[in-house]
Amino acid sequence: MIMLHRLGHQTEPFFLTPDLIVTVEANPDTVITLTTGAKLVVVESPETIVTLVQDTRVNVLVDALDQREREREGQGWPTPTAEPARLAPPPTSHDDEPAATGAPV
């Protein structure tokens, strides 16, 4: 989530999920268009919003990689091998074949 301020309400921040942002324009005020079609006019510049979104996404990836490393160290995960494990083929079912009645076809 990124913290922004509506134009005219600088003392009241709000949080926005960056995944909802479709466009950010300066007209001259900064207008954010959301996937819902809603438009928000904010104090922050488009460049600031881009930086906030990038920082948020980088932090998510860093946290995910850190968690993965902690899990591997704590649980002794095997290291990846060059060849993936082979799975057995699924059992063959004969339910779709007509039952033999002994009568000529």
Q: Is residue 45 situated within a structural domain?
A: yes
Number of domains in the chain: 1
Closest of 43, 54, 65 to residue 21, by C-alpha:
54
Neighbours of 86 (CB within 10 A): 6
Q: Is residue 14 part of a domain?
A: yes
46 assigned to some structural domain: yes
**Does 105 fall in a domain?**
no
Residue 104 inside a domain? The answer is no
Nearest to 42 by CA among 51, 33, 91, 74: 33
Please state the pTM of the whole predicted model.
0.63
DSSP string, 80-104: PPSSPPPPPPPPP--TTSPPP-SS-
Residue 67 belongs to domain spanning: 2-75
pLDDT in tens, the chain (105 residues): 999 999 987 678 999 999 999 999 998 999 999 999 999 999 999 999 999 999 999 999 999 998 888 888 876 555 565 565 555 555 555 555 555 555 555
* Cα angle for residues 32, 61, 49 (degrees, 5° grid): 20
Please indicate, yes or no, if residue 83 is contained in any of the structural domains: no
Longest CA pairwise span in the chain (Å)? 88
